[in-house]
Amino acid sequence: MKIVDTSDLWWKNAVLYCVDVDKFLDDDGDGVGDLPGLARRLPYLADLGVTCLWLMPFYSTPDRDNGYDVSDYYGIDPRLGSHGDLVELIRTAEDRGIRVIVDLVLNHTSDQHPWFASARRSRTSPYRDYYVWRDEIPDDPRETQFPGEEDGVWEWDEASGQYYLHSFYSHQPDLNVENPDVQRELAKVMGFWLQLGVSGFRVDAVPSFVSSPERREPQRDHDVLRALRRFAQRRSSDAMLVGEVNVPHAEQAAFFGEDGDGELHMQFDFASNQALYLALAREDPQPLRASLESRPAIAAVSQWANFVRNHDELTLDQLSDDERDEVFAAFAPDESMRVFGRGIRRRLPPMLGGDPRRVRLVYSLLFSLPGTPVLLYGEEIGMGENLDIDERDAVRVPMQWSPDGGFSTAPASDHPLPAPDGPYAPEHVNVESQLMAADSLFSFVRELARTYRLSPEIGWGELELLPATAPTVLAHGARTSDSRFIAVHNFAGEPVSFDLELGDEPVGTELLCLASGESWAVEDGAVAMSLDGYGARRMRVCRPGDGRLR
């Protein structure tokens, strides 16, 4: 197999793993997960195939929004550890071949941040213009990110006699990123964490960051974020920025830039994520196929980040009302399973009725779509949610290590959130029972990660959408100038036989299944094969003279 050097663009074929530190593993027995606990589990993550660890906010915080309400960008929540603990985590991760990136919250601070405390004390404070103030609410104010939880985006501040802008919760005042002083502060924050050894940042809520306080649509001038990227790469040449950019594909192009020299190296593909769930609800791959076709072309230095679930709600805001209702009916039939009128607060296995065939189909897709796969902690063992917990916290339950939980030795009442009960309780879903079981979901995901790393064209190649004679089958692949990866996924529960069109391939070419070693001869540019209900195959093209590995 030809080995591709990805040292300079390491994110192109990484395997990212998102961790909420306070819910992963408690090392000191106080009931809260911490950095030393996470460091103890690095061998587990390396065994899974993780090459990049994404840490959700661990900064000093009042913790009213899962740490996204930052009160000190340079501090670490003392419950989670110290700067020394973080540096030790980064060093130990590097020894395991794992990089570390951290969340970067640019849109807002906590109302407990010293900047805002000073700003609200006096209109002449040097930090007053770090935030956005108005005497009157604009006639056409922007909509809140959290309908049903917030009445609007302007909050009256009695202390200073003006309204301040908050695109998110009222305790998170928006930063005025048009202020050069704010821009310099944010660059210093990035420089600080890069100096401690992180390899980049997951940039939170990017469209809100680049939007004007008085407008609904993002500005086309993204100079501030572009300058932050340039700053990061001056400090560390291989630093990576991956952005949460939940906008249609056509708008995402601006964040990449024409030659990949824009604001972000990677962007989460929210459009395809939402189309995936519509396809699953219909048992028809066409919505996902159409979304993949709409992906804009990107430069070699840019990348898509593919995901199944994240730490927030499963947002469906890019679907039409009727399409959203279809997904709700299939996967969130009870109103309690929904949030903000646009999303689902469940993890994947319960949404799919616990059907292991469908669960594995989805993760096979995750590791075969061109781009970089991103896992949320616990996905590899099929963790569920706890709907007794409010809002998005339903999916942020503690990691399930053993039948008794294994998250902490402290009483459950001291844990950040309660574990699920029923079929997704720790006694039924945990790492210990799956780690050595060859037929477990953990073993399946570990094998997906291994074969993903053996197929560099998934990360580096161009997307192919291939003709297949069965309408329930999504046939796709990725190819470089000298190698080719092919995947087929049956979205229906019934077995299907079909012809797969591969185009011009030399006589003697074979398709080799990466999981089973089974092979199919390519005849006249086509292959006849079958798939079980919700079945999938991930394959390499082996041409004459290549041998079975390239």
Burial class (CB in 10 A: 0-12, 13-18, 19+), 99: buried
Annotated catalytic sites, by residue? 204, 244
At 181, list the tokens.
């002083």
Q: How many angstroms separate the CA atoms of 535 and 495, rounded?
A: 8
> Cα separation of 33 and 310, whole Å?
19
pLDDT digits (tens, 9 = 90+) for 369-405: 999 999 999 999 999 999 999 999 999 999 999 999 9
pLDDT tens-digit series, residues 143-152: 788 887 788 8
Strand, coil or helix: 446: helix
**DSSP state letter for 142:** P
Domains with residue ranges and CATH for the chain: 10-106+177-453 (3.20.20.80), 114-165 (3.90.400.10), 462-542 (2.60.40.1180)
Residues of the chain with pLDDT under 70: 1-7, 212-221, 545, 547-550
Q: CB pairs under 8 A, 24+ apart, for 437-444? A: 440/381, 441/356, 441/359, 441/360, 441/363, 441/380, 441/381, 441/382, 442/48, 442/380, 442/381, 444/360, 444/363
pLDDT tens digits for range 212-259: 655 444 454 578 899 999 999 999 999 999 999 999 999 999 899 877
Let me know how many helices (H) and strands (E) the chain has, helices first: 16, 22
Contacts of 524 (CB under 8 A, 6+ apart): none
Global pTM reads 0.95
Give 23's DSSP letter.
Answer: G
